[in-house]
Structure 1
Amino acid sequence: MPELGALPTVVQLFTRQAARTPDRIALADGDERLTYAALDAAVNRLAARLAAAGAGPGVLVGIRAPKSAACVTAMLAVLRTGAAYLPLDPEHPAARTELVLADSGARLLVTTGEPATTTLPAVRLDEDVPATAAVPEARPGPASPAYVIYTSGSTGRPKGVVVPHGGLAALLAGMRDLVGSAPEHVWLSAAALTFDMSVPELYLPLVTGGRLILLDPKAAILGKRLAALIEREGVTHMQATPSGWRVLLYAGFRAPRLTALAGGEALPPALAKDLRPRVGRLINMYGPTEASVWATSWEVPWEPDTVSLGTPLPGASVHVVDDRLDRVAEGELAIGGTGVASGYLGRPALTAERFVPDPYGEPGGRLYLTGDVVRRTESGLEFLHRSDTQVKVRGYRVELGEVEAAMDELPGVRQAVAAVSGDALVAFVVGDCPALRTRLAATLPAYMVPSRVIRLDSLPLTPNGKIDRRALEEKL
């Protein structure tokens, strides 16, 4: 792999590809088809409007719009100005959106319809205004921010992960070599744009000359419809969480030429064994948002007995360490290399806690401490458990502390604990709070609202006076 500073940015790669294959279909959104030339022209028009509105290097631009060709255009247009983008889900509660916008310091909002906030200037995607000036050429460096994605926070406050251009470029270069993305390939994008899993499936086809098929995330749970789309469009590459792959299997899915990537949550061995003979390749991917999406991979063999996290992608390094950062056979997984994010936006103390100097890499390098406890095996790394209360719900990262903090603020709640059962959140509540789930939905994304509420007279405690989470799990 080239040195990080030598890697071109995603928007430079896309521009070069558009010049090479202007008439090839780049993107399909339902019945809408855009060639590389048409998409590049739309990006230029919107980038000019954004630059005139103040977008440029050092500026963060919020994008609040349904997943669509226009939204992908907006992401590329923001990058073309040299600014960084912040994806916002239009289905999240308005209070959540306003909190994230305020916390991020975004200075411009790209949206459809009426803006979600009245405090920021807005550029409307549904107004295709002709460009009046050329876009100033931006040359962001490898450390310049490309995007910010907010994840759940253990203290009750979501946190923004800043991913630089260098990390994004390294991810695309490593995945291109891993999965063989090429002009003849067709990628399906099924993830929500606020889910970092969407990043490689959006950009990799557009920088390698392939075709991108957009799918509304809500349609991804319709197994038969999704399977038919994969066959109709000739999809060759697709990412999904294990929960998503299970939906397809229930629908009788089979695609012998498909490269299937599983990630976002642990891949159960039984599911890997069922899925492997139905696809051409099955690759288990692992990585947190703080490591630019994916950091390791493992090619699943026929008849797998166990599932491994595998080995590092090109440019990444992984270490199993103890509290002193000494290497051990079983301990916390630490990730280093080119994909490590810049840190948490506006959170220097938290950044210093989780991003530490890398004693094993290049001078000035850093390790991200994942909180995942793993052990080394012959096939790579085996995930054991979390060292904290972070969980995964349908691939989304959820800090139980944030859910509990939201419940604690509700009137009538004396104590509250969140837990996970299968792929669903459960709330244990002491007190009386009518319409608890409805109240939570006013401030939390839908995937963070418990699907079950169990009322208790008191919470079980350990001999040390702490909440006995194991005893609570027995009530599920």
Structure 2
Amino acid sequence: MPLTRGAEAAPERTLIDILRASAASHPEASALDAGSGALSYRELLVAVERRAAELRASGVRRGDRVGVRVDSGSQELYIAILAVLRAGAAYVPVDADDTDERARLVFGEAGVVGIVGNDGFVLREQRDAVRAAPGEPDGVGADPSPDDDAWIIFTSGSTGVPKGVAVTHRSAAAFVDAEARMFLPHDPLGPGDRVLAGLSVAFDASCEEMWLAWRHGACLVPAPRAIVRAGADLAQWLVRQSISVISTVPTLAAMWPAEAIEHVRLLIFGGEACPPELAARLVEPGREVWNTYGPTEATVVACGCRLDGVSPISIGLPLDGWDLAVVDGAGRRVGPGEAGELIIGGVGLARYLDPAKDAEKYAPMPELGWERAYRSGDLVRYEPTGLRFLGRADDQVKVGGRRIELGEVEHALQELPGVTAAAAAVRASESGVPVLVGYLVVEGGESLDRALAREHLSERLAAGVMPLLAVVDALPVRTSGKVDRAALPWPLPGVRAETAT
């Protein structure tokens, strides 16, 4: 399979087109179950139309941006998102648990015309209510077009200033349709499936959760935030809710016992590197396990690989409609087995709200013959059977005078026998000396053979690079589910960093 599949993009349509198609095919199937009684697709569509009409009557127009800050895990949150889309606007999500300061920053940067909150919709500027055109029900008129924005999600930049990324309906729908072609081709998702919604809607991976359900007539099942943060509690909840489809990060999945996902037939990893030990434990007959990769700037997922629990972990090959290239410092494609920066093109390209930032990261790549491409800043090794993720090009730290790639260290840590999750970080000793630390979660709480681990690492890391190894019960995670490096324990009890190895 080639790295360029831009010509294979699904036919152009919108997310509203997708929802309507599912509702037409499965009107009485459960579409959303937030714990207070499931809504069928017919009922969900009625609720969305009603709420969209209210937004339009309040002054929301096609092409506007509307903030959404509603309690996670609630039925109202997902109806609000769909209603904003139905009204022809783009939704700008902020997690209800985020600070008011971040909400003000995000909504201000996005220029939202109003905010949907727990208490309803508040218009931020004075506008006349939009009147219905003849024949239009309840003032709900203009559908979004494929070129209209569907969502604007803010990522955290290296400077700490959030960056707004706008994704059109064309890109979003192409992503949804591409995944439908990729997953479970012989036994597609359908009304019998229940899809976990466990991620914050402020992160783009939540879009995958929602549309894995709504593209196939399956049921989206939001999990309460408190349960998501507690690995053991979530494992029990998955069983009680008969969850069959999960998109998550490896760190969370590593906390679950095998019986928690006994009925899961599609398990998708993304956002972090997947340890081989974890894949080997979770791959079973009757269950597809996938490793995916994609920045927010290229619409959630750009490539993926089905894991078999034996082969080396790969981020795979592009989705239908996406183009990938691995280039050296001069922008030339590298050969098989060589490493370089991953460049992304195709139907999934989004854009930054900041024109200067957009021009910096999205640019023509004449060397590749591409009019527009996204420079990911991620290092990968080009293998014709699937790309190997190596870490961030700018994720370097300096320890002992050496420049070290944290991604490379984490990759080596994750390959240690018995390790189900790992993270690397640089900490300072009492005397201020930088110390490279590898945090490990070991399967079944077993002890770590440190001599064997050091031997393993010495074969995979550059000469003189050896992290201090710390075994922990679990890795702390952020709202996104990704590892929270800042919360990793330090100092380590009973360990002197200056002398430990």
Q: Give the TM-score normalised by structure 1.
A: 0.76
Shift of 1:275: 2.0
Give identity over the alignment, percent.
33
Shift of 1:13: 1.6
Shift of 1:279: 6.9
1:172 maps to which of 163, 176, 179 = 176
Distance 1:43 1:254, change over 3 A: closer
Q: AA paired with 1:160?
A: G
2:340 and 2:115 map into 1 onto residues whose CA distance is 42
Shift of 1:375: 0.7
Q: Give the TM-score normalised by structure 2.
A: 0.72
2:16 maps to which of 6, 11, 18 = 11
2:288 and 2:498 map into 1 onto residues whose CA distance is 36
2:87 and 2:440 map into 1 onto residues whose CA distance is 40
1:318 and 1:111 map into 2 onto residues whose CA distance is 39
Distance 1:199 1:114, change over 3 A: closer
Task: Report the counterpart of residue 28 of structure 2 in structure 1.
Answer: 23
Distance 1:137 1:113, change over 3 A: closer
Task: Report the counterpart of residue 412 of structure 1 in structure 2.
Answer: none
Alignment pair present for 1:205 and 2:210: no
1:281 and 1:98 map into 2 onto residues whose CA distance is 41
Map 1:116-127; keep pairs closer than 5 Å: none
Could you tell me whether the CA contact under 8 Å between 1:373 and 1:387 is conserved in 2? yes
Distance 1:387 1:20, change over 3 A: same
Task: Report the counterpart of residue 449 of structure 2 in structure 1.
Answer: none
Could you tell me whether the CA contact under 8 Å between 2:317 and 2:387 is conserved in 1? yes
Task: Report the counterpart of residue 486 of structure 2 in structure 1.
Answer: 450
Map 1:30-429; keep pairs closer than 5 Å: 30-67=35-72, 68-113=74-119, 133-141=138-146, 143-179=147-183, 180-249=188-257, 252-255=259-262, 257-277=264-284, 280-304=287-311, 306-328=312-334, 329-341=338-350, 343-345=351-353, 347-359=354-366, 364=371, 366-389=372-395, 422=439
2:321 and 2:68 map into 1 onto residues whose CA distance is 30
Shift of 1:368: 1.0
1:474 and 1:135 map into 2 onto residues whose CA distance is 69
Q: AA paired with 1:384?
A: L
Shift of 1:316: 0.8
2:87 and 2:24 map into 1 onto residues whose CA distance is 19
2:117 and 2:10 map into 1 onto residues whose CA distance is 33
**1:11 partner SS:** helix
Shift of 1:59: 0.8
The more displaced of 106-115 and 66-75 is 106-115
1:148 and 1:9 map into 2 onto residues whose CA distance is 15
2:263 and 2:54 map into 1 onto residues whose CA distance is 44
Deviation per CA, 1:56-96: give whole Å up to 9, x if none: 22211000011221111111111111110001111111111
Could you tell me whether the CA contact under 8 Å between 1:109 and 1:121 is conserved in 2? no
Distance 1:113 1:57, change over 3 A: closer
1:64 and 1:248 map into 2 onto residues whose CA distance is 30
Shift of 1:160: 0.6
Shift of 1:132: 8.5
Could you tell me whether the CA contact under 8 Å between 1:221 and 1:247 is conserved in 2? no
Shift of 1:119: 5.3
Shift of 1:278: 8.3
Deviation per CA, 1:425-467: give whole Å up to 9, x if none: xxxxxxxxxxxxxxxxxxxx99879336979xxxxxxxxxxxx
Deviation per CA, 1:137-174: give whole Å up to 9, x if none: 32413x32110110101223111111111110111001
Could you tell me whether the CA contact under 8 Å between 1:330 and 1:376 is conserved in 2? yes
Give the length in aligned residue pairs.
404
Distance 1:5 1:231, change over 3 A: closer
1:64 and 1:11 map into 2 onto residues whose CA distance is 21
Could you tell me whether the CA contact under 8 Å between 1:256 and 1:279 is conserved in 2? no
Shift of 1:218: 3.1
1:34 and 1:423 map into 2 onto residues whose CA distance is 42
**1:325 partner SS:** coil
Shift of 1:389: 3.6
Could you tell me whether the CA contact under 8 Å between 2:205 and 2:300 is conserved in 1? yes
Shift of 1:204: 2.6
Shift of 1:260: 0.6
The more displaced of 278-287 and 26-35 is 278-287
**2:92 partner SS:** strand
Could you tell me whether the CA contact under 8 Å between 2:243 and 2:263 is conserved in 1? no
Could you tell me whether the CA contact under 8 Å between 2:244 and 2:263 is conserved in 1? no
2:67 and 2:126 map into 1 onto residues whose CA distance is 11
2:89 and 2:123 map into 1 onto residues whose CA distance is 21
Q: AA paired with 1:207?
A: R
2:169 and 2:435 map into 1 onto residues whose CA distance is 36
Distance 1:89 1:187, change over 3 A: same
2:205 and 2:263 map into 1 onto residues whose CA distance is 23
**2:141 partner SS:** coil
Distance 1:46 1:13, change over 3 A: same
Could you tell me whether the CA contact under 8 Å between 1:92 and 1:446 is conserved in 2? no
Could you tell me whether the CA contact under 8 Å between 1:58 and 1:84 is conserved in 2? yes
Query: Is there any run of 5+ residues in structure 2 with no aligned partner, and where?
Result: 1-5, 128-135, 397-405, 411-424, 426-431, 442-480, 492-496
2:315 and 2:29 map into 1 onto residues whose CA distance is 36
Distance 1:309 1:321, change over 3 A: same
Shift of 1:234: 2.9
RMSD: 3.6
Q: AA paired with 2:487?
A: S
Q: AA paired with 1:136?
A: G
1:106 and 1:78 map into 2 onto residues whose CA distance is 12
2:272 and 2:482 map into 1 onto residues whose CA distance is 18
Task: Report the counterpart of residue 474 of structure 2 in structure 1.
Answer: none
The more displaced of 277-286 and 293-302 is 277-286
